[in-house]
A = this chain, B = another copy of it.
Amino acid sequence: MTSDPILPELKRLRASIDNIDAALIYLLSERFKCTKRVGALKAEHALPASDPGREKEQIARLRALAHEADLDPEFAEKFLNFVITEVIHHHLAAAGKK
């Protein structure tokens, strides 16, 4: 027993996790491209950086998707909040408020 096991199944699982993580990073980058453009549009039209109505809809939708995908809906909501916090940070920066 070592602290860095190389059990074959563990190695295979870690290779899959690494592939999934790469996909997640590229998707998150695409998502931020969209939200940066949303931020620019909002700044241009003097709209507020956050939109509670839209966020409420997104949370409800992601919780339902998580349920279908066999993912904890609480985690899906925490994840969206984590991403939205970063997005609002970008929007405020784009609006010159920080």
Q: In chain B, what residue has the closest Cβ to A87?
A: B17
- Taking residues whose C-beta sits less than 8 angstroms from the other chain, chain A's interface range is 35 or more
User: SS class of chain A's interface: helix, strand, loop or mixed?
Assistant: helix
Q: How far is the CA of A78 from the CA of B86 in the complex (A)?
A: 10
Q: Do the beta carbons of B71 and A4 come within 8 Å of each other?
A: no
In the complex, what's the smallest C-beta–C-beta distance from A59 to chain B, in angstroms?
Answer: 11
Q: Is the CB of B9 within 8 A of A41?
A: yes
Q: B20, A34: Cβ atoms under 8 Å?
A: yes
What CA separation (Å) do A82 and B81 show in the bound complex? 12
The listed residue (B4, B31, B70, B79) touching A51 by CB distance below 8 A is: B4
| 14 A-B contacts (beta carbon < 8 Å) | A1-B45, A1-B46, A3-B47, A3-B53, A4-B51, A7-B41, A9-B41, A17-B35, A20-B34, A25-B69, A25-B71, A27-B27, A28-B69, A28-B75
